[in-house]
Chains A and B, each alone.
Chain A
Amino acid sequence: MRTMIRGNESIAYAFKLARVQVVPAYPITPSTLVPEKISEFIANGEMKAEFVPVESEHSAMSAAVGASARGVRVGTATASQGLALMHEILFIASGMRLPIVIGIGNRALSAPINIWCDHQDMMAERDTGWLQFYAENNQEGLDLGIMAFKIAEDERILLPAMVGLDAFVLTHTVEPVDMPEQSDVDEFLGEFVPHYVTLDPEKPATLGSFGFPEHYMEFKFAQWVAMERAKKVIDEVFAEFEKKFGRKYQKVTPEFTEDADIIFVTIGSMSGTTREFIKKMRAQGKKVGMVKITTFRPFPKEELKEALKNAKVVAVTERNISFGFGGAVYGELGATFANMANKPKIIDFIVGLGGRDITFKTLESVLSEAEKALNGEDVSEVNWIDVNKEAVYKSEGLQ
């Protein structure tokens, strides 16, 4: 059914359709509407779940672990500072192999405090052992929200998953979506079966015990193996979803790449703007293309190698920064190609931090640098776009 919803509602509806049984949540801009909507569903009798209005995100994730360990389907939502506050427990959720799903309203981190979009919050959690998906629009948020449960709960995987939606650009923007039928989602997900040891008085088990050096690394290696296996399972689930619902998902989606000399790499809502920009450039005869990353964990190395193999220059546009190095995508893409004989020039562009708009002008600046690289000119490895550099240099005493 065609429905108009905001991005946050896509997560709330995904939880409702997945028949999530426990939702521990704490409000934070821009994801607050998720628990609000869940509370409304429960109050109306549209959803049967225990909503736990916890006193912090740290407790939200702690309660999520407790509930998931008890053997029910669990979802929550947060953003930015809230995700950072969960940080400690994110490692524990994945280390205990609990398939919890979080919807994230991707938002910048303080300081200065800022409520608008970038991907720093999720990128900062990329080492916590969670599957990571990023939505381009509300339909993707809804679909990935549903698929996240199926992937996370697969007995070959058992890893928690986060689904990112860009703050405001998606979380607060109304878009039409195809709302799946409950019966179809029930068929797609099946009844929740915990494929892991749960807290059950009939079969007492000790969960979260103390691991000495002779065991710890095997636990970590098991997580590594599960992440590697997830690559195939994600493809399977995407294919099954396409078959049932008619919408195609890929870990990375190449567009206009066959003959492209310069390929943009994008994540999230910037992909829509980039696509229009590329069409415009194509109309002017420029050989440009793009690759959208939907699955960031596990990092789709093979797909990216394939999609970018004929590019001369890869322009990574990303909304996060690791100070002292560059963006996360740039670093990982660079490592992906490190041992390849033939590799493109990979150049990093830091854009759209803290909700700064990514416009055609932004992308023109990116393209202009990428074209310089294509022509063999020296270009910086990491480039900050749309920044008043003069003002910063002055305040830092550099002129």
Chain B
Amino acid sequence: MNYENEEFFAPGHGMCAGCGAPIIVKWILKLAGPNTIVTNATGCLEVATTAYPRTSWRVPWLHIAFENAAAAAAGVEAATKAKGEKLNIIAFGGDGGTVDIGFQALSGMVERGHNVLYVLYDNEAYMNTGIQRSGATPWGAWTTTSKVGTVNPIGKIRPKKPIAKIIAAHDAAYVATANPAIFQDFKKKVQKALDTEGAKFLHVISSCTTGWRHDPSKTVEIMRLATDTGIFPLYEIENGDFENMRITYKPKKFKPVEEYLKTQGRFRHLVKNPEYVKKIQEDVDAWWAKYGKYYRH
């Protein structure tokens, strides 16, 4: 059954113009269809779509708290089994709710192998509370808790937590990174995740116009640059088999990282310093030198 022409995520919600998350949610629900239950971590997506008594969700939806979307989904799944029914159970969480405060619940859910698709929409900081750094904030990003000044000219001084690899190391049934701006690849991975039995994890990049500091009309363009510069590579790992990980998309020619960095206010201080740009380019080149062989046509 194809539901691409139906909307399960209704318009009229309060998400910002240019936010990446509604694009991701809308399309995942189109691919999943109506036989779906969603759990949602506290965050922009929850707050801006369910202002009582209104809702944007045309599938059953549950929000409990910030750190437990995975545990909530595990409970929904157990009850669904107890009822002898079968459906898609999808958990949505932002990066704070996934790689930081919700990490333990996520790890437990994946280890127990619940038949749940967990979707991380990663906008690389605590955007709902006002752009605070998270474990998913990249090196060098300005946030309101990794400020740039004379003593710290860099911003965040630690690299991004490699959450997809960490979840893959749980031997999860299916793990993939995805980018809605690379749309066919994104759709294929969502479908594959939905078709796979067991714990699935999608790490999806999701621009935040206010946190990344760019014009709302540039969202898709900028997200696309994240992959075309090699900063956000797209790959998949099944059952923890790192040897057979697959890079699923590679631009014909990589663009320099500066093209991505200069589009966003959060990197403005970096772009002014060629040393910093060079460091980021070297990190990206090193990643591709190490993992590039996993690109399969």
Give A328 to B35 CA distance when docked, in angstroms.
48
What residues of chain A lie closer than 8 Å to B52, measured between beta carbons?
A: 209-212, 215
Kindly state whether residue B188 has any CB partner on chain A within 8 Å: no
- Interface positions of A from 8 to 67, Cβ below 8 Å from B: 21-22, 24, 49-50, 52-56, 58-59, 62-67
Number of interface residues of A (CB under 8 A): 41
- Interface positions of B from 19 to 57, Cβ below 8 Å from A: 34-37, 39, 46-47, 50-53, 55, 57
Give A211 to B79 CA distance when docked, in angstroms.
27
Q: Are B64 and A55 in contact (CB under 8 A)?
A: no
Q: Which of the segments A117-125, A178-186, A200-208 contacts the partner chain?
A: A200-208
Kindly state whether residue A347 has any CB partner on chain B within 8 Å: no
Number of interface residues of B (CB under 8 A): 43
Kindly state whether residue A199 has any CB partner on chain B within 8 Å: yes
Q: How far is the CB of A70 from chain B (nearest CB, A)?
A: 4
Q: Are A59 and B108 in contact (CB under 8 A)?
A: yes
Task: Contacts A207-B61, A212-B52, A215-B52 given; indicate if A201 touches B83 (C-beta within 8 A).
Answer: no
Q: Are B105 and A58 in contact (CB under 8 A)?
A: yes
Kindly state whether residue A276 has any CB partner on chain B within 8 Å: no
What residues of chain A lie closer than 8 Å to B53, measured between beta carbons?
A: 209, 215
Q: Which residue of A lies closest to B59 (CB)?
A: A204
Kindly state whether residue A92 has any CB partner on chain B within 8 Å: yes
Task: Contacts A55-B108, A63-B75, A207-B61 given; indicate if A71 touches B83 (C-beta within 8 A).
Answer: yes
Kindly state whether residue A72 has any CB partner on chain B within 8 Å: yes
What residues of chain B lie closer than 8 Å to A206, measured between beta carbons?
A: 50, 55, 57, 60-61
Residue among B59, B65, B75 facing the most chain A CB atoms (10 A cut-off): B75
Q: Are A67 and B76 in contact (CB under 8 A)?
A: yes
Kindly state whether residue B111 has any CB partner on chain A within 8 Å: yes
What residues of chain B lie closer than 8 Å to A198, measured between beta carbons?
A: 60
Task: Contacts A53-B112, A207-B62 given; indicate if A70 touches B68 (C-beta within 8 A).
Answer: no
Give A62 to B63 CA distance when docked, in angstroms.
10
For the A-B complex with A63-B72, A65-B75, A215-B52 known, give 12 more contacts whose Cβ atoms are closer than 8 Å. A50-B81, A54-B71, A55-B111, A56-B105, A59-B70, A59-B71, A62-B72, A66-B62, A74-B79, A201-B60, A204-B61, A210-B52
| Interface residues of A, Cβ cutoff 8 Å to B | 21-22, 24, 49-50, 52-56, 58-59, 62-72, 74, 88-89, 92, 198-201, 204-212, 215
Sorted nearest first, the 10 A-B pairs with minimum C-beta distance are A66-B75, A55-B108, A63-B75, A70-B79, A62-B71, A208-B63, A209-B50, A59-B71, A62-B68, A67-B79
